[in-house]
Structures are given as structure tokens and as C-alpha cells.
């Protein structure tokens, strides 16, 4: 069981550090998708209403342990204030004079955001002592810690792991909801249990397939990763994404699926193009007839129908990874079809973060039509695999 905010007791007047995930995509200083900010609101609103002095910690992008203007959290502050309906203060450093002054100036129910945690090398250091030193400086700013950045709980980082050892700590509303929803998939799925996997890199999904071969009733494979399966079956894949080093593993998985009675469903047709371009002319071909000079860009319409049939009667569905290059209109139809089927499915439907969640929002689907949309692609996959997530295990209640 995770420690909850209730375990922190009376919060009025307390400085509560909240590790959120405000790593939103930016076009310059314009936020192009505020989904992660929206996901942080339940916890932040609860703390504000409790009279806590809320200090929000987050990263943005991948700076190299030093300030970079393009990765500043400044653009996020205005949008967070709009959504909370109150002014949000901003500190231009993480643990320096600005952070100390801003935190000292907070009133009960006030909110501040500190600058990008990754501007300090201690946040992501591989050295335990360096991470602990930075976490100790952060801890000096607060009285309690709430972990609510699900997208980073699989990382052993200062604000995720060490900070939770230094202050009374609890899981926020988002982390609690994420863990509960994903455990419904891994621990007690209602059947039929269908898994839909896509995306570009098959290496990212092999652990998930390995884990779920013993749990799922059906596993549907689309996206760029499907071409390694097609190659393993002896088909031409042209200039499509291919991981030659994983062919033997994929063959072994196909054999296991057949032996264990798991239905492994691969595309029957593919949308190909002569080049990776938004303007490239799409052509639909059967998978066994892919031209050697073309590149696979999306599942074809017959596959979309087939996948729809395999999903429609599912009691539990987990989807991670788009079916094609959904950012290009000509190659978005497969992902749209899967998202639409999931949105209408009567069962418990989980969109496993990352590009799948981005696709749902980018393509204009009503998020309320899905049972759960994860905010963490890598974290959700590792939880599904059954791996130990440092940022989760540190929040579990001591049952001894």
C-alpha cells in the first residue's frame, strides 16, 4: 500500500514539496499540450484547499546539469496559475537564494514553482552522494514531500527517491491513481485481456511482451516494431524500421505464444511510402507483398478492422504505442482506428502514456472515453513488466 496524503496529517501552514511532472512539449515558449499540467491539478488543488504552502518541483527536457533558457519552467507557471485560478510564484533557481526567498514568502494556500530541477547536476547524477546532497538542499525548503510525477517514478533521481527518505513522504493523487489503474491490468485483469503494442522501437517493448505472454489472452502488434516480427516470419520489409538483433527473440516469443495459447495478432496489410515524409504518397499493400524500395508507415485498413474486432469484446485493454506515424495525416488512420475502438470499448481501457497518450490528445479524442490515460510511458511499461520502480517502492507503507 502506498502512503497517502492523509498520512501527512494537518497541512495548514506546512511547506509541502510536490514532485510533479510538468515536462510539457513547447514550441518556443508556447505549450503545445498541457495534459501533464492538468494531471497535476487534483493533488495541487487538494493541498491548496488544505492550506499548505505548496512548492512544485519538476524537470523539463534534458538539460545537462546546468541552466539552459530553452528548458526553463517559466512558460509553465502562467498556465498553471490559469488552471489553479491563482497567482503562482516562480523561483529562478532550484535551491539558491531565489528559491529560498520565494518559499519564505508563501502564504497558506499559496503555490510556487522552482526552476528546472535538471539545471542542477545532482538531480540525475549516477553518484548516490551527489543525489543525496541535492535532495538535502531541497528538503531544507519543506516540511513534507508529496510524490506526484508518475513519469519519473522509474528513475532513481534526487527529487524522486532521496527526497522521499528525508521528509515525511506520500503519494499524490496522480501517482496513486496510476498505480491502482495499472495494477488492475497486471494483477487482476478481467478477461478477455487484450494488449495492443506499437511504436518505433521493439527493444522498448520486449520486456512487456515477455511479461504479458503469460497473462494476456491476445497481443496485437502494430507500429514500427511490427516489421521485426514480419521479418522474423520471412517477409520482405523494405526500408521499414527493423531490429535485426532481435529476430531470434521475436521468433521465440511467437513460438511461446502458440504453445501457451496466446493469440499473437500481426498486421495483414501495411501503408507504405517511398520516403519518410508528411507529403509522401501512401499505398496499401498486403504484408507479404511489401516492395523492397518502400517504407512501412502505418497499419493498413484491413489490419485496423482486424484489430478492432480483437479489441471490441475485451474486458481489459492495455495500449502502448501508435500504429504508425500519426503525426503525418496520411499515416494516422491506423492509430485513429485503434483509439476509436478503445474509446467505444465497454471494458477497462488503459492508454499507457508516451506517444499513445499524445496521439489521443493530438487526434482530438475525448479523454473521458478511456478508463485511464497514463502520464508516464516508460514508467507504465516498467510497472506492467513487474519491475521495481524506485519512486514507488520508497512510498510504500512499512508493513513489518
Please say if 391 is a catalytic residue.
no
Catalytic residue among 19, 36, 176, 246: 36
The annotation status of 61 as a binding-site residue, yes or no, is yes
The annotation status of 239 as a binding-site residue, yes or no, is no
CA pair distance 277, 290, nearest whole angstrom: 18
CA pair distance 293, 308, nearest whole angstrom: 30
Give just the sign of the alpha carbon dihedral 143, 148, 149, 153: positive
Strands 144-147 and 15-19: parallel
Give one word for 53, left, alpha or beta, with left for phi > 0 and alpha for psi -120 to 50.
beta
Please say if 110 is a catalytic residue.
no
CA geometry: angle at 12 spanning 10 and 14, to 5°? 90
The annotation status of 391 as a binding-site residue, yes or no, is no
CA pair distance 220, 222, nearest whole angstrom: 7
The annotation status of 355 as a binding-site residue, yes or no, is yes
Spell out where the chain has E strands.
Answer: 15-19, 26-27, 30-31, 53-57, 88-91, 111-114, 144-147, 169-171, 193-197, 218-221, 263-265, 269-273, 283-286, 295-299, 316-320, 348-351, 372-373
CA pair distance 16, 1, nearest whole angstrom: 21
The annotation status of 120 as a binding-site residue, yes or no, is no
The annotation status of 354 as a binding-site residue, yes or no, is yes
CA pair distance 384, 380, nearest whole angstrom: 6
Please say if 12 is a catalytic residue.
no
The annotation status of 258 as a binding-site residue, yes or no, is no
Q: Is 396 helix (H, G, I), strand (E, B) or coil?
A: strand
Catalytic residue among 142, 300, 324, 354: 354
Strands 169-171 and 193-197: unpaired
Reference 317, options 217, 210, 386; nearest CA is: 217
The annotation status of 363 as a binding-site residue, yes or no, is no
Please say if 344 is a catalytic residue.
no
The annotation status of 36 as a binding-site residue, yes or no, is yes
The annotation status of 234 as a binding-site residue, yes or no, is no
Catalytic residue among 13, 378, 386, 387: 378
The annotation status of 70 as a binding-site residue, yes or no, is no
Catalytic residue among 184, 201, 256, 387: 201
Per the annotation, where are the binding residues?
A: 21-23, 36, 59-62, 118, 155, 205, 296, 327, 353-356
Catalytic positions: 36, 201, 354, 378
- Residues annotated within the binding site for substrate are 21-23, 36, 59-62, 118, 155
Residue ranges for the known binding site for (2R)-3-phosphoglycerate are 36, 118, 155
Annotated binding site for ATP: 205, 296, 327, 353-356
Amino acid at each position: 500500500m502506498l502512503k497517502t496524503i492523509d498520512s501527512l496529517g494537518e497541512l495548514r501552514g506546512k511547506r509541502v514539496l510536490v514532485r510533479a511532472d510538468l515536462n510539457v512539449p513547447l514550441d518556443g515558449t508556447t505549450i503545445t499540450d498541457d495534459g501533464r499540467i492538468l494531471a497535476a491539478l487534483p493533488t495541487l488543488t487538494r493541498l491548496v484547499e488544505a492550506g499548505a504552502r505548496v512548492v512544485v518541483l519538476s524537470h523539463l527536457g534534458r538539460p545537462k546539469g546546468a541552466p539552459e533558457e530553452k528548458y526553463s519552467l517559466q512558460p509553465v507557471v502562467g498556465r498553471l496559475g490559469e488552471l489553479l485560478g491563482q497567482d503562482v510564484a516562480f523561483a529562478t533557481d532550484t535551491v539558491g537564494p531565489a528559491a529560498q526567498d520565494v518559499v519564505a514568502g508563501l502564504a497558506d494556500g499559496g503555490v510556487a514553482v522552482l526552476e528546472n530541477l535538471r539545471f542542477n547536476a545532482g538531480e540525475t547524477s549516477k553518484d548516490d552522494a551527489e543525489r543525496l546532497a541535492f535532495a538535502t538542499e531541497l528538503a531544507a525548503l519543506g516540511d513534507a514531500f508529496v510524490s506526484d510525477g508518475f513519469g519519473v517514478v522509474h528513475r532513481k533521481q534526487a527529487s524522486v527517491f532521496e527526497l522521499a527518505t528525508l521528509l515525511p513522504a506520500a503519494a499524490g493523487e496522480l501517482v496513486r491513481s496510476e498505480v491502482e489503474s495499472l495494477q488492475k491490468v497486471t494483477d487482476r485483469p478481467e478477461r478477455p485481456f487484450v494488449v495492443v503494442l506499437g511504436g518505433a522501437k521493439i527493444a522498448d517493448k520486449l520486456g512487456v511482451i515477455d511479461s504479458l505472454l503469460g497473462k494476456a489472452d491476445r497481443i496485437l502488434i502494430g507500429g514500427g516494431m511490427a516489421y521485426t516480427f514480419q521479418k522474423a516470419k520471412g517477409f520482405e520489409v523494405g526500408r521499414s524500421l527493423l531490429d535485426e538483433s532481435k529476430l531470434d527473440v521475436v521468433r521465440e516469443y511467437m513460438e511461446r505464444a502458440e504453445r501457451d495459447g496466446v493469440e499473437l495478432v500481426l498486421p495483414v496489410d501495411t501503408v507504405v511510402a517511398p520516403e519518410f515524409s508528411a507529403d509522401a504518397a501512401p499505398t496499401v499493400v498486403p504484408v507479404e507483398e511489401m516492395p523492397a524500395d518502400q517504407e512501412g508507415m502505418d497499419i493498413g485498413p484491413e489490419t485496423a478492422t482486424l484489430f478492432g474486432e480483437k479489441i471490441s469484446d475485451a474486458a481489459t485493454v492495455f495500449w502502448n504505442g501508435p500504429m504508425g506515424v500519426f503525426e503525418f495525416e496520411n499515416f494516422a488512420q491506423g492509430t485513429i482506428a485503434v483509439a476509436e475502438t478503445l474509446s467505444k470499448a465497454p471494458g477497462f481501457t488503459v492508454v499507457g502514456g508516451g506517444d499513445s497518450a499524445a496521439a489521443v490528445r493530438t487526434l482530438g479524442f475525448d479523454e473521458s472515453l478511456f478508463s485511464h490515460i497514463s502520464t508516464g510511458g516508460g514508467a507504465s511499461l516498467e510497472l506492467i513488466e513487474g519491475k521495481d520502480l524506485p519512486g514507488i517502492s520508497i512510498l510504500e507503507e512499512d508493513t513489518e
